[in-house]
Amino acid sequence: MSDLTEPIQNAPQRSAPQQAVVKVGLCILPVAEIVIGALYLDDCPRQHYIPIYLVVVGVMGLLLTLLTGTDTLGVCFSTLNCITRLFFFCWFIAGNVWIYSIYEPNYNQTATDVDLYCNKTLYLFAFWTTTLSYILLLVGCCCCSN
């Protein structure tokens, strides 16, 4: 039985610079989500929640990235982390509804009915980052099931 737990206990730990590089790498997408959402905040009358979704999911992604691996705050931190993850999951589901329910919107802003318009950069960024989340989830599940 001790042979099964030995590799876990002897797993190599990342150095502080390696951890910093990983955290910075994980912050790139959330920062991009915040920037794109903020830049195009009023550019999707078809579904005005999409840019708000991007900003909030970006902030939550940054928060989760920064909070992950910090064990020094104890029970309060654990509770905050759990609540943050639950909110993130619910917000992600809501974003899916907002994004996929209008597929594929009119990208032409000069169309006669401007209410059907959604900025192409904003929509496609939201669509593909959400779809990428599912792809990564599927790959993660397949890799962990072996």
> pLDDT category, 38, cuts 50, 70, 90?
very high
Whether the link from the prior residue into 33 is cis, omega within 30° of 0, is no
What pLDDT, on the 0 to 100 scale, is given for residue 70? 59
Closest CA to 29 of 120, 136, 141, 143: 136
Q: pTM of the prediction?
A: 0.80
Tell me: the pLDDT tens digits for 98-145?
999 999 999 988 866 767 899 999 999 999 999 999 998 888 888 876
Whether residue 69 has pLDDT greater than 70? no
Mean pLDDT of all residues belonging to the chain: 84
For residue 61, pLDDT over 70 is answered with yes
Q: Of 91, 103, 94, whose CA–CA distance to 128 is shortest?
A: 103
β-bridge partners, 106: 117
Res. 51: pLDDT tops 90: yes
Give yes or no for residue 9 having a pLDDT over 60: no
